[in-house]
Structure 1
């Protein structure tokens, strides 16, 4: 029984480069979604003020 070798799984620590790449990818994805949300809100506000300036809408309640 001398010299028998058993393959053991070696545990490795976290890969710093892999963690940085995953973190950057997630940050870019989240940042892109956030920026798209703000562009959409900005478009809505700009459209509202354009309609208000043209007189197509009003913020004053009309009396009957």
Structure 2
């Protein structure tokens, strides 16, 4: 009894170089976004302390 042959797509293993390149790219993108977030937070803190030194704001609540 001969069955009909079905053509299947051959599965290839993962490409190591491709995986490394994708990992490095994603890591650099995520690291860049994280660094930009920290620069933004640092800018906010620096602006807060500058305003505090100039007397424009106070951390003591007025009564």
- Equivalent residue for 2:31? 31
Q: Distance in 1 between matches of 2:8 and 2:61?
A: 78
Shift of 1:38: 0.3
Q: TM-score, normalised to structure 2's length?
A: 0.84
Q: CA deviation at 1:8?
A: 5.1
TM-score (norm 1): 0.83
1:14 Cα offset (Å): 0.1
Matched, 1:52 2:52: yes
- Number of residue-to-residue matches in the alignment: 58
Q: CA RMSD in A?
A: 1.4
Distance in 1, matches of 2:26 and 2:32, equals 10
